[in-house]
Amino acid sequence: MRRLLLPFASLSTVLTAFTPIPAPDYAWLVNTTASFLRKCELTGVGNVTLFTPDASSSYGAQWTRDFTMALSSVPSLFRALPINVSASVAYTLSRVEPSGRVPDRVQANGAAVFSPGSGGWPITLAWDNNAYAGLLLAAYAGAWSDAPFFCEWEPTAGRALSLVPLVGGLAFNDPAAPNCSFGFEDSVVVPGRQLTVSLLLHDAATRLAALAAATGCGDAGRYATLAAAVAASVDDLFDPASGLFLASDTLETLPDVFGSAYLVALNLSTPARRAAVGGFLAAQWRASGGSPATTVFQEGQVRHLPQPLLWKKCWEGCPSAGTYQNGAFWATPLNWVLPALELTGHGAEAQGVAEATLASFRAGGVMECINRDKDYAGVRDYVASAANVLGVVEVAA
């Protein structure tokens, strides 16, 4: 029988779902992800083990969002490592500034880097990292049942969430002086009221509220109020023409596949609008016959915007059309897309997407992103690609 999973922490109220895959594929994915974690270890100041985003030595630091995604998705694999995971988490949280500004990444020499991407970009932070700081704390404290650690670092996570400006209940990126919004679109200028950052805030606030209530540390009501504000406002970004939600309400008023799936996985908006998102994804998968690229899927992996849409403005020239953050296909959002399909009654399509992704991984490697039409791929052995899929699949009965 299929069952719903809560892989982040037993205290979580956030929904996700389970997609069955064949036992050999599941075993291969477990072993591959575990191997990546061992290969991406990096020793930081104080002999603390850090985790890079990939096992191919391309990214030489501990990125806040990548570490959070991996730890959230596969805590059992981190538990199996002979290291002190709490020290790895504290390495990032201890470098959050008193203002609440969260590092994009922390380096082995102890330095915190706040600006994502090229040092020449005119941005000083990425708003999603403020939510990821809360998600990182909740992932570790919940999965390890470490109440003292939560109580120690909850004020830091609280400051981080409070720093993100809200307008009308949604995270706001000031068009007059925009920063990066979501790290998987960090090359893109996305001003205005934000979809994905708002959803990350809701997710983090929901998890922190549950942990605060359980431990007595922190203001659970304040977190619940933040989550409720986002929940009451996300429909402002619904786009009836596409059946998806828009990336923002300013400039990048484009249907956001990643964010729309995340919204469904969080059980926000209305049943009809969640069904519209799930129906769009399922129809795209069925139209592909499971193999050729559609406007959304390629080898199970997912495009941020439906083809042929591209982002409108980037900091210093957008990546070539169809590559990287401007039209490649990613496995990282499958921890949102697979639950979105499952929770809207499209379990068969979810299974098809998962199996195609595993076949792609096994044949061509676990990549950061791909576009076979452009003969393009991102970095190899990308941890979040493997971990985010593993976190929402199980062995088929």
The CATH code of the domain that includes 29 is 1.50.10.10
Q: What is the pLDDT of residue 119?
A: 66
End-to-end Cα separation, the chain, in angstroms: 8
Residue with tokens 């964010």: 259
Q: What is the pLDDT of residue 354?
A: 97
Tens-place pLDDT, residues 178-227: 999 999 999 999 999 999 999 999 999 999 999 999 999 999 999 999 99
Whether 304 is in a domain gets the answer: yes
Tens-place pLDDT, residues 3-59: 333 333 333 334 567 899 999 999 999 999 999 999 999 999 999 999 999 998 889
Residue with tokens 């899929």: 389
Domain that holds residue 371: 19-395
| Residue 318 DSSP symbol | P
Whether 14 is in a domain gets the answer: no
Distance CA 196, CA 281 (A): 18
Residue 135's contacts (CB-CB under 8 Å, 6 or more residues apart) are: 8, 68, 72, 200, 203, 204, 207
If residue 63 lies in a helix (H) or strand (E), which one and from where to where?
Answer: strand 62-63
Distance CA 63, CA 344 (A): 32
Distance CA 276, CA 279 (A): 5
Q: What is the pLDDT of residue 62?
A: 97
Q: What is the pLDDT of residue 118?
A: 67
Whether 2 is in a domain gets the answer: no
Beta-sheet pairing, 244-245 with 297-298: unpaired
| pLDDT band, very low/low/confident/very high, at 316 (cuts 50, 70, 90) | confident
Whether 6 is in a domain gets the answer: no
If residue 78 lies in a helix (H) or strand (E), which one and from where to where?
Answer: helix 75-79
Averaged pLDDT, 281-310: 86
Q: Does the pLDDT of residue 337 top 70, yes or no?
A: yes
261 — phi, psi (to 5°)? Answer: -65, -40
* Spatial contact of 77 and 89, defined as CB atoms under 8 Å apart: no
* Nearest CA among 79, 234, 107, 106 for reference residue 166: 234
Distance CA 166, CA 131 (A): 13
Distance CA 14, CA 206 (A): 7
Distance CA 63, CA 42 (A): 12
Distance CA 220, CA 222 (A): 5
Averaged pLDDT, 384-395: 96
Tens-place pLDDT, residues 109-146: 999 999 997 667 888 899 999 999 999 999 999 999 99
* Nearest CA among 71, 76, 20 for reference residue 393: 20
Q: What is the pLDDT of residue 86?
A: 98
Q: What is the pLDDT of residue 8?
A: 34
Distance CA 204, CA 161 (A): 8
* Spatial contact of 383 and 70, defined as CB atoms under 8 Å apart: yes
Q: Say whether 328 sits in a helix, a strand or coil.
A: coil
Q: What is the pLDDT of residue 292?
A: 47
Whether 13 is in a domain gets the answer: no
| Average pLDDT of the residues of the chain | 93
CA Rg value for the chain: 19
Q: Say whether 377 sits in a helix, a strand or coil.
A: strand
Q: Does the pLDDT of residue 291 top 80, yes or no?
A: no
Distance CA 98, CA 113 (A): 15
Averaged pLDDT, 279-298: 81
The two most distant CA atoms of the chain are separated, in Å, by 54
Whether 272 is in a domain gets the answer: yes
Helices (H), ranges, 234-304: 257-265, 271-288
Residue 285 identity: W
Whether 11 is in a domain gets the answer: no
* Helix-strand-coil split of the chain, %, nearest 5: 45, 15, 40
Residue 148 identity: P
Q: What is the pLDDT of residue 295?
A: 87
Q: Does the pLDDT of residue 264 top 50, yes or no?
A: yes
| Residue 255 DSSP symbol | B
Q: Does the pLDDT of residue 97 top 90, yes or no?
A: yes
What's the total number of domains in the chain?
1
Share of the chain above pLDDT 70, in %: 94
Tens-place pLDDT, residues 225-247: 999 999 999 999 999 999 999 99
* Spatial contact of 387 and 33, defined as CB atoms under 8 Å apart: yes
| pLDDT band, very low/low/confident/very high, at 317 (cuts 50, 70, 90) | confident
Count Cβ atoms below 10 Å from residue 27 Cβ, excluding itself. Answer: 11
Count Cβ atoms below 10 Å from residue 59 Cβ, excluding itself. Answer: 18
Whether 25 is in a domain gets the answer: yes
